[in-house]
Amino acid sequence: MAALPAAACAVRPLAHRDGVWREERRVLAEETPVAFTYERTTYAVMLATPADLEDFAYGFSFNEGLIERAEDIRGIEIVPREIGGEGKSGESGIEVRVDLAPDRVEAFWRRRRFLLGATGCGLCGTESLEAALATPAPEGSARRAEAGLRLTARDVAEAMAALAAGQRLNRESRALHAAAFWPLDGSEAVVREDVGRHNALDKVTGALLRRGGDGCSGAVLLTSRVSLELIQKTARLGAPLLIAVSAPTALAVRRAEALGITLIAVARADGFEVFTHPHRVEMSLETQDESHAA
């Protein structure tokens, strides 16, 4: 059986800088096909960083609406696979075999009937145009954000500093996205990395599910731009706050407004911008004065 690929590998490119050629060492992020199978049937194949795969399986299954809680998965088997044979690519892949609880099997077959193609950054698994904008709510009692949840400009800076500190692989490769859940109670942030920004958030979601938590008491953090699906996944997790380094799309802003999410973006060393539901952000007189002075 093939071994699981590493999350990154070192190469020695020939670099041309300042008119000089020299061999250098560079760490590259790995990109591996990961197939999610349920009931021994392939559901989706993702290109992902081969790390935190169990978190990925839980989060992906949750965001696809196949499970509602960690207990809906009875077991996970991670199987490395060789892709092709002699004369073929010689690359490795990973099959993640998810064993669903009996009462979730029907949800899998129902969802699979509407899957039109492989799932990725697009929306090829949707049944209709309306389904593209839908955010599946967790079953049972709906998650409710804490009514008094508020944060300050200092909180935003501390959250993004925690996100940067947790990007171990990206410090080596400079080629990975990261997502995190940052609790406002001061506990440690949950950070996950991946070549795909959606995958990174799936991994964070899975990590929280496995710990028995949800997103009601903190903020989702992203290193990427904010698109529709990232808003939907934040809403499904129950997080009332989303903070991102880059800008959102116009559709993402409209959906965040409709879903009651406070969207903070362009969060960098010199400040940030609040696009929706600013009532969760404390604006002191000092902050307002600085804004007017600028």
Q: Where in the sequence numbering do the catalytic residues fall? A: 121
Q: Is 92 helix (H, G, I), strand (E, B) or coil?
A: strand
At a CB cut-off of 8 Å and minimum separation 6, what does 126 contact? 114, 116, 132
d(CA 27, CA 37): 31
**Do residues 205 and 226 lie in contact, with contact meaning Cβ atoms separated by under 8 Å?**
no
* Per-position b or e across 281-291, b if 16+ CB within 10 A of its CB: beeeeeeeeee
From 62, 120, 107, select the one nearest 238 (Cα to Cα): 62
3-state SS, one letter per residue, for 222-283: ECCCECHHHHHHHHHHCCCEEEECCCECHHHHHHHHHHCCEEEEEEECCEEEECCCHHHECC
